[in-house]
Structure 1
Amino acid sequence: MNTIRLILLLVSTLSFSCQKQSYLFTSFREPATDGLHLAYSHDGYHWTDLGGGYLQPEVGGKLIRDPSIARGKDGTFHLVWTTNWKGDKGFGYASSKDMMHWSEQRFLPVMEHEPDVVNVWAPELFYDDENDRFVIIWASTIPFKFPKGEEDERNNHRMYYVTTRDFQTFSKAALFLDPGFSVIDCVIAKRKKDDYVLVLKDNTRPQRNIKVAFADNVLGPYQQVSEPFTGFLTEGPTVIKVKNDWLIYFDQYRDKTYGAVKTSDFKTFTNISGEVGVPKDHKHGTIIPIDAKTLKALKSKTAL
């Protein structure tokens, strides 16, 4: 009987450990000169600060803003980030096996072929498992290239992209999204095969809020742009799936707080800002699942 009970206990423990999921949230702190910051959560709602200084900015304008992370099938973490407000024609890149020891930083000049480009903002990584490649999207302004509303010509953004399998060879930068208005801060979510959602910021003066659009291909075209589901002056969304719900976090930059909504269908959104806890001064990053070994090492480093 004792043997049976022990087996049942081991099975129960293993089942619980398999169900338990932890998450890692990248971020930065203004003025974005002190490098990569991290936070973790076991439930996707409550976040614990792991501190900063995991990667110091060394390329481009020597800022780390909007750090976006994705993990390849070999377990390597890949990170891209905004290096400057204006002037840089690319973004920063580094990789790591453990989130603590990083490769040499590189500047990826993805818009060097555009002599008039104003900026390269908020590169976002997405691992396209169906094609075993990474898709990187970002916002740039090329004055007088697109119709505009109230925006200045140097603030009329559209989304661009490249793809890569090895972060050595890249496709030529191409237009990713022109929804007919200035758009920034996009992030891709895959619901299932041939079913993608793009969470985006409408950056036009009357809006400056967050919406979604839909496509049956990771590269679009993304259509059926929704009505906003966040308030005025919100940006920097990131998306994770927790059980049956998708959680969308976003920066409420007027109030200097973080907000969140949850949805099961990307049509109806419930505000859960009062149910989440994000570290003070946390800014625009992305969330990925994290394995127990890597998280334990990160927590140990923080405790030193």
Structure 2
Amino acid sequence: MDKQKILIAGLLLFAALIDGCTEQAGKDTEAVYFFTSFREPATDGMRLLYSHDGLRWDTLGGVFIRPGIGDQRIMRDPSVVRGPDGTFHLVWTTGWRGTKGFGYASSKDLIRWSNQRSIDVMAHEPTTVNVWAPELFYDDEADRFIIIWASTVPYRFEKGMEEEDNNHRMYYTTTKDFKTFTGTKLFLDPGFSVIDAVITKREKADYVLVLKDNTRPNRNLRVAFADNPLGPYTEVGEPFTGHLTEGPTVLKRGDDWYIYFDAYRTHTYGAVKTRDFVHFTDATEEISVPRGHKHGTIFAGTQADLQRIQDFLKRNGG
């Protein structure tokens, strides 16, 4: 074989190798959805589901972080957001009552986690009954994380049929590094008891808040709108789910927004889909969620993230 043919053969081999590497890199960065989860009585810790299409979910075996703080040693309502540097940030409910903060930990791989800390956001309110369902939102416009949660401060707000120790409003703090936090402020007072709120960004200056109307007898989901992630949120819509639904999380799939929710009366997960957050269609028959899954949030990852976790579980008998 002359030098020219050898050179051509070498170039073809190199091109094939490059194509193979590019194809593999594409697979590694292919989107995978993760869904944080816990199981009652919430003493085990955070579990994870995964999906390639955002509709059909499978369980990743095992517990990824166990509760290590709080007198009640529980980990409910785990919320995860991935920051711009790739770090996963986790917050959760550490107790039913008697707590003044929520739990926090971080991870680079969803496997090894930092030391757990309590972020005592309601320490300034001595009569606070609880700190429930903290939710993380990364505000890419201001490069900050917003954390919202529900707390009851008795005799602070008007109420309906609720007892004073069950009359919730939403509060918030912000942080850029999870070391220093802005002072706690009221996030939402819609005129009724509210919990389980999540912020969704549609586009710049266009935000939707999905929330649970926790009043009796309602206890269902509604939406409100704002031009800033911190609100004010107005035009609270009519309920779009049935009785005894909570724990919403939102996923965009094509032109549709899917709102997953915990139908805790039937111990199942439901979903609706919408394109405008005004008109909603039942999408429960489109989804498949393992039984026992409880109140979590959906976040995006990659095939490489999933493969790393699956390899870890195989090595450790998961």
Q: Do they fold alike, i.e. is TM over 0.5? A: yes
Which amino acid in structure 2 is aligned with residue 282 of structure 1? H
SS at match of 1:300: helix
**Once superposed, which parts of structure 1, at least 4 consecutive aligned residues long, lie more than 6 Å away?**
9-12
Deviation at 1:293, TM superposition (A): 1.4
Question: Pairwise mapping of residues 1-304 of structure 1 onto structure 2 (< 5 A)?
Answer: 17=27, 20-60=30-70, 61-303=72-314, 304=317
Deviation at 1:21, TM superposition (A): 2.4
- The residue aligned with 2:9 is none
C-alpha distance after superposition, 1:203-239 (max 9, x if no partner): 0002100010000001000000011111000000001
- Larger radius of gyration, structure 1 or 2? 2
Deviation at 1:240, TM superposition (A): 1.1
Alignment RMSD (CA, Å): 2.0
The whole-number CA distance in structure 2 between the counterparts of 1:182 and 1:86 is 17
Which amino acid in structure 2 is aligned with residue 221 of structure 1? P
The whole-number CA distance in structure 2 between the counterparts of 1:296 and 1:93 is 25
Deviation at 1:301, TM superposition (A): 2.7
Which amino acid in structure 2 is aligned with residue 201 of structure 1? K
TM-aligned CA distance change 1:274 to 1:173, over 3 Å: same
C-alpha distance after superposition, 1:149-189 (max 9, x if no partner): 00000000000000000000000110000000000000000
| TM-score in terms of structure 1 length | 0.94
Aligned positions, number: 301
Q: Mean Cα displacement is larger for which, 18-27 or 142-151? A: 18-27
Q: Mean Cα displacement is larger for which, 191-200 or 272-281? A: 272-281
Q: Mean Cα displacement is larger for which, 136-145 or 259-268? A: 259-268
Deviation at 1:275, TM superposition (A): 1.2
- Native 8 Å contact 2:101 2:121 kept in 1: yes
- Native 8 Å contact 2:30 2:302 kept in 1: no
Which amino acid in structure 1 is aligned with residue 307 of structure 2? K
- Native 8 Å contact 1:35 1:52 kept in 2: no
C-alpha distance after superposition, 1:134-160 (max 9, x if no partner): 000000000010000000000000000
- Native 8 Å contact 2:221 2:246 kept in 1: yes
- Native 8 Å contact 1:160 1:174 kept in 2: yes
Which amino acid in structure 2 is aligned with residue 37 of structure 1? R
SS at match of 1:53: strand
- Native 8 Å contact 2:258 2:272 kept in 1: yes
The whole-number CA distance in structure 2 between the counterparts of 1:136 and 1:22 is 24
SS at match of 2:251: strand
The whole-number CA distance in structure 1 between the counterparts of 2:67 and 2:278 is 38
The whole-number CA distance in structure 2 between the counterparts of 1:52 and 1:216 is 40
Task: Specify every segment of 5 or more residues in structure 2 that has no aligned partner in the other structure, as ranges.
Answer: 1-11
The whole-number CA distance in structure 2 between the counterparts of 1:291 and 1:75 is 11
The whole-number CA distance in structure 2 between the counterparts of 1:52 and 1:205 is 37
SS at match of 1:293: helix
The whole-number CA distance in structure 2 between the counterparts of 1:122 and 1:12 is 41
- Native 8 Å contact 1:249 1:261 kept in 2: yes
- Native 8 Å contact 2:252 2:258 kept in 1: yes
- Native 8 Å contact 1:63 1:84 kept in 2: yes
| TM-score in terms of structure 2 length | 0.90
- Native 8 Å contact 1:35 1:63 kept in 2: yes
